[in-house]
Amino acid sequence: MTDTIIDKLKSRAETSPNELAYSFIDKDLNSTGITYSQLLDQVHQYALQLVNHQINYGDRCLLLFPQGLDFIISFLGCSWVGAIPIPLNIPGRNKPLTKWEKIVTDCDAKAILTNIQNFDFLSKCISQSSILSSISLFSFLPQEKNNISVPDNAINELAFLQYTSGSTGNPKGVMVTQSSLANNLKEVKLFLDIKKESVIISWLPFYHDMGLIFGILQGLFSGCKVYLISPTNFMSQPFIWAKAISQYKGTHISAPNFAYELIAEKLEQTTTKDISLSTLVRAVCGAEPIHLSTMYRFYTIASKFGMGSTTLSPSYGLAESTLAISSTFIGNKVNWIEVERKELLNNKITIINQGTLQDSTVPIDKKEDHTSFLISNGTIINDNQVTIIDPNNNTVLPPYEIGEICFSGPSVTKGYWNNPEATKKAFVTDHSISATPYLKTGDLGFLDTHNELYVTGRIKDLIIINGVNYYPHDIERSAFTSNQNFRTDGAAAFAITKEGQEKVVLIQELTREAVRNPQYNLWVQQIKEEIIKTHGILLEAILFIPPMHIPRTTSGKIQRSKAKATYLNKEWRKILHSYTRTYREHHIDDIHNEEQINEYLTLLVADQLGVSKTGFDRNIPFVELGITSMMSLLIRDTLENTLKQSIPATVLFNYNTIDQLSNYLANLKTETKNTNKIVEIENSTPQESDYDTYSEDDLLTLLDKELND
């Protein structure tokens, strides 16, 4: 068997007994540490107690600990006796226990392990569940050595089970093996240039794969110091991360995109001269979609505090690949590209512009209707391989073509515990593609000609409107960047089916200041216009909610499926304001003359302009009134829903005043009273002045929508 993490612990304790292994930093930046020899002794004592309580090789144990040394000792103690640890978060007070019940049932757990401080709370908590209370709950205190021995060959090839969130379905336990773990730790050590002299500083939760593997096991594998911060301390005081890096001379950090957004904001606001990020060697970003604007903002601000030009490292990985799949290799610059959005949504890449994060000017503030920015997630870790496969026909795609990201090599895990069906679906054996079983990640992306990986989204999250693909994180970003009162990375977009059609719903968190000083009608209009300008689609509903109310994973990733389920089940706990598209009750047969149509159109235009219906001349062209191309699309869509008719987009150009359009619709009503379809009059041509008032991009947006209807 490959050298295990327990082998590494024994080796460290023998060669570097007095070296610091782990140290915990409190909210005042004071640290409490443990050496390798002390750690080995306590892990051995814990292993003895596990055997004494009949927890042996192959037994599954749930580890429910707060952030602290107790968790590390318990995890390693289980590994020593061959038991299989399952890291989980502690249930919240008075919260449903469904996830924990499902996991216990799935893995047939032998015991729940915790520390003495949480024993009483968990005892009371699990007593509410017949499933959880049916298994033993243990918390072990230090005790004198006894005659019980732990066999040295008890190490289980299965290192631990990493369970998915299970928030909207049955959780799956990823079987991380000793060999896949050792390979990933080895390759990450190489890619990130982690040495014995390195200092890892992590606030990530231990029960998340990045927090467990990068934040704990990587330090033990590499023999470097690890300083740990409580996630709750980081979330309440994000600046503690920068202070800890500065005080303890951190060299390696890792976190999701949202954390870099937070810390960039805090660094930008600080007036202190005492922060230095000059010791940082690698700042890894992963676990959720990575935004070019966030990376550039953090890079430019952190550089002022001494961070090196090639420190930032966007990366990609998932639990099924143990952890890392790709990362920016040490010393390399971070590449980005600007692509045609229309081509991107059709799974093609047409590059308009490209550069590196280190360029003096990165067009992060550029707002275009037809382009998107993508950032490289680096190259594939050594000894492993990524293949891009067309999910429709299972063929391998060349560079710059989007398909499903598939991963093969020794870092691939064993599959899902007790779930052969899910394992067979995700872990595929096809020798025409890979000599070894490969993992279907469920993510979409492409490789460039330098083997750098770009991730474009998740297959299951794709929003499909009129046959066109939309990435929800693109829609979300357009929403939360449309106004400073919206929380960055605080949006969830998803599709629902209504009256047989796909509709898009957006949930948007507000800042605390915005909650106190709301301007809901203005914000609704801004979001609607930004989404239709950038993506050419209309939102069915917008919900404004308080900060941090959107469901997230333990790493901070937005859970769109759970947000959707919460919306459909009407289970949002606190909605500050909601907007839903309303459809007028009138139908084509209810409007008997041109005057009634004219009155109705006047109301629609007034709604868009936010003025009284008597506040403008009905013979003034729409553009002169202030009706933008986005507003005209909104008017057209409302007309279609009200009249239950299909209206070509060019009608709004051909008949560009209320009176002209009313007359046109009234004539059509007379001509088509026995049909339910509005058609354009043959040979009618728009005036040149109509086209002059719209940009080429606006016209293309309208044309694309027309062709896709």
Confidence of residue 706 (pLDDT cuts 50, 70, 90): very low
Q: pTM of whole model > 0.85?
A: no
Q: pLDDT tens digits for 622-674? A: 777 767 655 666 677 677 666 666 666 567 667 778 888 888 777 766 665 54
Q: Please give the Cα distance from 347 to 445 (Å, whole number).
A: 9
What are the residue boundaries of the structural domains of the chain, listed by start? 38-171, 255-460, 463-580, 604-708
What is the predicted pLDDT for the residue at 387?
A: 96
- List the CATH code of the domain at 38-171: 3.40.50.980
- 255-460: CATH architecture: 3-Layer(aba) Sandwich (3.40)
Q: Please give the Cα distance from 443 to 448 (Å, whole number).
A: 16
Q: Please give the Cα distance from 465 to 705 (Å, whole number).
A: 10
Token pair, residue 440, equals: 């279907």
Is residue 152's pLDDT more than 80? Answer: no
Q: Please give the Cα distance from 336 to 361 (Å, whole number).
A: 12
Task: Give the percent of the chain with pLDDT over 70.
Answer: 83
- List the CATH code of the domain at 463-580: 3.30.300.30
Element (H, E) at 264: helix 257-269
Higher pLDDT, 616 or 427: 427
CATH match of 604-708 with 3.40.1350.10: no
Q: Concatenate the DSSP letters of all residues of 390-443 into one string.
A: -TTT-PBP-TTB-EEEEEESTT----BTT-HHHHHHHEE--TTT-SS-EEEEEE
Confidence of residue 428 (pLDDT cuts 50, 70, 90): very high
Q: pLDDT tens digits for 336-368? A: 999 987 788 778 899 999 999 888 777 776 655
Is residue 407's pLDDT more than 80? Answer: yes
Intra-chain end-to-end CA distance of the chain, in Å: 59
Higher pLDDT, 302 or 644: 302
Is residue 144's pLDDT more than 60? Answer: no
Q: Please give the Cα distance from 453 to 449 (Å, whole number).
A: 10
In 400-500, the DSSP E strands lie at 403-408, 427-428, 438-447, 453-458, 463-465, 468-470, 486-498
Chain-centroid distance, C-alpha 229: 22
Cα angle 207-212-214, degrees, rounded to a multiple of 5: 145
Judge contact between 659 and 618, C-beta under 8 A.
Answer: yes
Q: Please give the Cα distance from 7 to 284 (Å, whole number).
A: 27
Confidence of residue 150 (pLDDT cuts 50, 70, 90): low
Average pLDDT along the chain? 84
Token pair, residue 10, equals: 């024994």
Q: Please give the Cα distance from 294 to 301 (Å, whole number).
A: 11
Is residue 681's pLDDT more than 60? Answer: no
Domains 38-171 and 604-708 share a fold: no
Is residue 586's pLDDT more than 90? Answer: no
Task: Give the percent of the chain with pLDDT over 90.
Answer: 52
- Picking from 537, 520, 519, 517, the residue whose alpha carbon sits closest to that of residue 528 is 537
Q: Please give the Cα distance from 597 to 589 (Å, whole number).
A: 11
Pairing of strands 403-408, 438-447: antiparallel
